[in-house]
Amino acid sequence: MMLRSRHVLYCLLLIIFCQCVEVEVDQLHSSNSPLPIEDTSITEDSKSQIHLNRRKRNVNQQTAYDIDIEVSIPNNGLSMETLQMLLNNVTYPFGIYVGNDIVNITSITPTTGSMKFALRVKNLIFSKDLKNSSSPLYKNISREFNALLNEAYKSVRPDASVKILGFTNGSIIVVHEVFSRSPLSPGDIASSQNEVTNALSNKYITEFLPEDEIPCSSSIFGTTNFNSIAEIPCMGVGGVKKAKCGKNGKYEKELDFCLLPAISNLLELTNSSAEVAKNFSSLLQELSTASQNENITTPGNVQAVVTILKIFSETNTTVNETDLGNFLQIVSSVISTNSIETWRILSSTTPETNPSSQLLQSVEIFSSRLNLTKGTLEIKQTNLKLSATKIISPKNLSPINVTFDNFTIEGYNNLSANLFISADELENAENSVVVTIAYPTWIDILPNNTNFGENFLINGLVVTITLSTKKSIEIDMTFSPRDPTLDFNTAKCAFWNFTGNGIWNDRGCTPILDGENIICKCVHLTSFSILMSSKEEENKVLDYITQIGVAVSLGSLLITIIIEAVVWKHVTKNKTSHTRHVAILNIAINLLIADVWFIVASSIKPESGACVAATFFIHVFYLALFFWMFTLGILLVYHLFFLFHGLSKSALMGISFGIGYLCPVIISVITIGVTYPQDSYIRKGACWLGWRDKYPILAFILPALVIIASNIIVLVMVIFKVLRPTIGDRPRGHNEEKETFKQIVRSVVVLTPILGLTWAFGIPTFQENSHIAFHYIFTILNAFQGFFILVFGTCLDKKVREALLKKFSLTGFSSRTKSAQSTSTGKFPSKHGRAFPGKKKDYKISNQLHSGSKDKSLSYSTLN
């Protein structure tokens, strides 16, 4: 296997090397006198002499070359360690034949470090010739900067070498890559850039571009500035392939704007308005047939279809039922669920136009020219439905009442809309045609830009209503919301305004809440929908509570961790106490990290890569918080009911860390693995788990609810244990009943925040129109959860307090004070905390749990 790998490596390097040096060798040959053509009659001695002369001539012309060869090795290919090992076994120099010449390889040195940089030269003007690597200008500037940059980088890292990748505009930006045997450190980078600036300062004014704004360079798309789009022609078909230059000098995903042959042909034919008018119906039929190809939803084909349909809508020709049917079939094909990602690509790559707005406007214009020969018309396509009615006579007019529902598209089947136009509004519309069209998938295609605020989402069917005569009429529309969890109080009835790139406008429309539906009254016709805020109206009081609570919690958690570190040796002397404090410490650490990520997420741009990372870590650490609370609950039950059965400390630690970290990591990894490829991991507009499509939010809610429920059971078991009398106890008197009640109250107060039961108050907040009181309770209890953990998990622990007193030399003072008080009164300490003398033991739950505490309250320190 080693021998085979070595041969493969040799062949790979030699082939690439031959390709690199072939041009140079040919140049050397061309500088010499041409060799005479050999005659077949030449003797063997003559042949030998010619060969010897050639060898001598080549020796005299030896030239040394340093050649950089970039080899892409797949992930499952040779590792750098294996490559280095193979090269160590190579005997240098060794020769290879290039034509009739021998090239000696003297060394092969693999480099593991390479970094891209971009240097702006402000006093040079960019020329198009710098896009052509074979142009004299490109070669001259490339040679000059290669020499200057090599010298500057080698002054910091002698093993560094520079490769010019290309030039872009912006004065002139020199994109280059630096290779070295090991990656450049931040200090090396800073020193190198200073050396480059100083070396060029006599002739050029330069500056280095930030790392995330470096131009992209590749053999396919060439060199392109950051945030710009590079294009190359498609092979054998019309259209182009595009790639956007992203951060750190890397091209983003290649975008296919190539065209189907039929679409490309129709795009050329429809460039002539006369040709379109002449063959209007036949061209529509041909486009309808072409749109049934499964590749119609690629960006290039969709963009071409939008252009073609815009031409058809602007052609002044009467539209019959067949034409409209073909037109809508084409529209349905390009607004399918398979095309949603395509529309997002078109929005990002064509900022100067809005293709979705263009298509919607084309539908409106085209449908308004319908010449309906009969009274009504219905057209049902996969992704839209149409209903048209002709107003034949003003006498005995009937109102227009159309309902769109029962859509079979997954994810949109709960949508419905009813459109009502009274007969009075149609009195002066004789021979007019009212056309209504509903499109479910437009919810995810049209932008949610509005003139009435941010954070609004399209939450209902997009409905187009046109009238063939120019007349404003009032219309009532009833929409069912797609997402009923959004705030109904923020509902807006809006129409799509085609001005510019388009925007949602609520002028002339009034919303009315009707149970679970929204009624919209509008005084004009166009395309409508309802929009709701993805974020409830901000409650400033709740925001202040959250901000203050999180700040207090972060400080409290840090104090908790510090206290645990200070008293750790004093409070973890037995395995149960050790396990309990390990759980408290991990609860504090996980809540601290989760809160920090929560703060970070609030400052990150939604739906970015950083937002995905923040969501993942918030998910992991909040789940870890819950699972450690679950571990604590299990520990409490174990201690209460299995007093005489012990597990080793290592077993307890193994179980605790297995539950506390392994479970949340598995759940989080599976969640992102399943939902991220389908673009449903994070919700729109926020760095948190999504609640649509694969419902990744359930990967947090379900484990949390199960743990809360189990810990509630633990709390009930603790209360019953406190209430149940120990064998041999006397019936309780009034004072003992009162003391028992106090124990129960203390148990609830202490255990509720530590076991995570405060999160149970968040369940009512998921209900629609839940009372504001639940929001206040939930916000207060959970914003201050870190503070509660400090108080009830650490400060109320008797052993922690004693350890702190001892640590700060206050124990002696406390003991002397108590001793003096006992001596002066001549009384013994209270019998409440005193064990019975002799060999008999008192197994009352209060004494067993409190480790000798005189106070019978069931604080969480009972696990010591």
pLDDT score recorded for residue 831: 35
Which tens digit of pLDDT belongs to each residue from 810-821?
Answer: 544 444 444 444
Instruction: Verify cis geometry, omega within 30 degrees of 0, for the bond prior to 34.
Output: no
pLDDT reading at 91 higher than 50: yes
Task: Give strand ranges (E) for 572-730.
Answer: none
pLDDT score recorded for residue 77: 54
How far is it, in rounded angstroms, from Cα 222 to Cα 209?
19
| pLDDT band per the 50, 70, 90 thresholds, residue 326 | very high
Q: Is 670 in a helix, a strand, or coil?
A: helix
- Greater model confidence, 169 or 85: 169
Length of the chain counted residue by residue: 864
The angle, 0 to 180 degrees and rounded to 10, between the axes of the packed helices 772-783 and 540-571 is: 30
Of 459-463, 493-497, 561-565, 567-571, which gets the smallest average pLDDT?
567-571
Contacts of 87 (CB under 8 A, 6+ apart): 108, 109, 110
pLDDT score recorded for residue 31: 36
- Greater model confidence, 394 or 146: 146
Q: What is the CA radius of gyration of the chain?
A: 39
pLDDT score recorded for residue 746: 58
How far is it, in rounded angstroms, from Cα 658 to Cα 627?
10
pLDDT reading at 216 higher than 90: yes
pLDDT reading at 854 higher than 70: no
| pLDDT band per the 50, 70, 90 thresholds, residue 481 | very high
Of 358-362, 378-382, 517-521, 654-658, which gets the smallest average pLDDT?
654-658
Across the chain, mean pLDDT equals 78
pLDDT score recorded for residue 78: 57
pLDDT score recorded for residue 80: 55
> Over the range 801-825, which residues count as b (16 or more CB within 10 Å of their CB) and which as e?
ebbbeeeeeeeeeeeeeeeeeeeee
pLDDT score recorded for residue 711: 80
Strand order in the sheet with 113-121: 161-169, 172-180, 113-121, 206-208
pLDDT score recorded for residue 833: 36
- Greater model confidence, 180 or 825: 180
Mean pLDDT of all residues in 484-488 = 81
pTM summary value: 0.56
pLDDT reading at 603 higher than 60: yes
Residue 325 structure tokens: 């049917």
Q: The tokens 């019975």 sit on which residue?
A: 836
DSSP calls for 62-125:
-------------TTS--HHHHHHHHHTPPSSEEEEETTEEEEE-------EEEEEEEEETTS-
pLDDT reading at 844 higher than 60: no
Q: If we measure between CA atoms, which residue out of 622, 626, 619 comes closest to residue 754?
A: 626
> Best-predicted range by mean pLDDT among 236-240, 571-575, 579-583?
236-240
Residue 568 structure tokens: 């750790």
| pLDDT band per the 50, 70, 90 thresholds, residue 64 | low
How far is it, in rounded angstroms, from Cα 250 to Cα 530?
40
pLDDT score recorded for residue 770: 62
Which tens digit of pLDDT belongs to each residue from 290-316?
Answer: 999 989 999 999 999 999 999 999 998
Mean pLDDT of all residues in 31-46 = 37
DSSP calls for 494-525:
EEEE-STT-EEE-TTEEEEEETTEEEEEESS-
Contacts of 368 (CB under 8 A, 6+ apart): 435, 466, 467, 468
- Greater model confidence, 250 or 828: 250
Of 81-85, 152-156, 544-548, 602-606, which gets the smallest average pLDDT?
81-85
- Greater model confidence, 215 or 730: 215
pLDDT reading at 556 higher than 70: yes
How far is it, in rounded angstroms, from Cα 553 to Cα 583?
18
CB 359 within 8 A of CB 346: no
> How far does Cα 111 stand from its chain's mean position?
33
- Greater model confidence, 64 or 245: 245
pLDDT reading at 5 higher than 60: no
* Bridge partners (DSSP) listed for residue 528: 463, 495
Start-to-end C-alpha separation, the chain:
61
pLDDT score recorded for residue 468: 76
| pLDDT band per the 50, 70, 90 thresholds, residue 394 | low
DSSP calls for 297-319:
GSHHHHHHHHHHHHHHHHS---B
pLDDT reading at 504 higher than 50: yes
Which tens digit of pLDDT belongs to each residue from 638-678?
Answer: 777 765 466 777 888 888 899 999 999 999 999 999 888 87
Backbone phi, psi, residue 680, to 5°: -130, 10
pLDDT score recorded for residue 570: 84
CB 493 within 8 A of CB 530: yes
pLDDT reading at 19 higher than 50: no
pLDDT score recorded for residue 351: 76
Residue 741 structure tokens: 């009640």
Mean pLDDT of all residues in 830-841 = 34
Mean pLDDT of all residues in 567-573 = 83
pLDDT score recorded for residue 432: 86
How far is it, in rounded angstroms, from Cα 171 to Cα 486?
50
Contacts of 567 (CB under 8 A, 6+ apart): 799, 800, 803, 804, 807
pLDDT score recorded for residue 248: 84
pLDDT score recorded for residue 838: 35
How far is it, in rounded angstroms, from Cα 394 to Cα 423?
9
Residue 24 structure tokens: 């140079």
pLDDT reading at 49 higher than 60: no
Of 36-40, 335-339, 348-352, 461-465, which gets the smallest average pLDDT?
36-40
- Greater model confidence, 132 or 90: 132
CB 323 within 8 A of CB 284: yes
Mean pLDDT of all residues in 468-484 = 86
Q: The tokens 């395995």 sit on which residue?
A: 575
Q: Is 80 left (phi over 0), alpha (psi -120 to 50) or beta?
A: alpha
- Greater model confidence, 42 or 725: 725
| pLDDT band per the 50, 70, 90 thresholds, residue 83 | low
HEC profile of 592-637: HHHHHHHHHHHCCCCCCHHHHHHHHHHHHHHHHHHHHHHHHHHHHH
Residue 603 burial class via C-beta count within 10 angstroms: exposed 0-12, middle 13-18, buried 19 and up: exposed
pLDDT score recorded for residue 767: 59
> How far does Cα 699 stand from its chain's mean position?
17
pLDDT score recorded for residue 461: 94
CB 497 within 8 A of CB 504: yes
How distant, in Å, are the alpha carbons of 366, 401, 479, 770 from that of 431? 18, 18, 29, 51
- Greater model confidence, 31 or 70: 70
Q: Return the percentage of the chain with pLDDT > 90, whole number.
A: 33
How far is it, in rounded angstroms, from Cα 259 to Cα 303?
10
How far is it, in rounded angstroms, from Cα 561 to Cα 589?
7
How far is it, in rounded angstroms, from Cα 213 to Cα 248?
6
How far is it, in rounded angstroms, from Cα 613 to Cα 484?
28
Q: Return the percentage of the chain with pLDDT > 70, whole number.
A: 74
- Greater model confidence, 835 or 435: 435
How far is it, in rounded angstroms, from Cα 366 to Cα 356?
15
> How far does Cα 804 stand from its chain's mean position?
46
| pLDDT band per the 50, 70, 90 thresholds, residue 829 | very low
Mean pLDDT of all residues in 228-248 = 91
Report the greatest alpha carbon distance in the chain: 136
Which tens digit of pLDDT belongs to each residue from 666-719?
Answer: 999 999 998 888 778 887 667 888 876 667 888 988 998 888 888 888 878 877
Looking only at the bridges linking them, the beta strands covering 475-479 and 517-522 are: antiparallel
pLDDT score recorded for residue 322: 95
Q: Is 343 in a helix, a strand, or coil?
A: helix
Mean pLDDT of all residues in 724-729 = 53
Which tens digit of pLDDT belongs to each residue from 395-432?
Answer: 778 889 999 999 989 889 889 999 999 988 888 777 88
Backbone phi, psi, residue 294, to 5°: -65, -20
How far is it, in rounded angstroms, from Cα 571 to Cα 583?
13
pLDDT score recorded for residue 241: 93
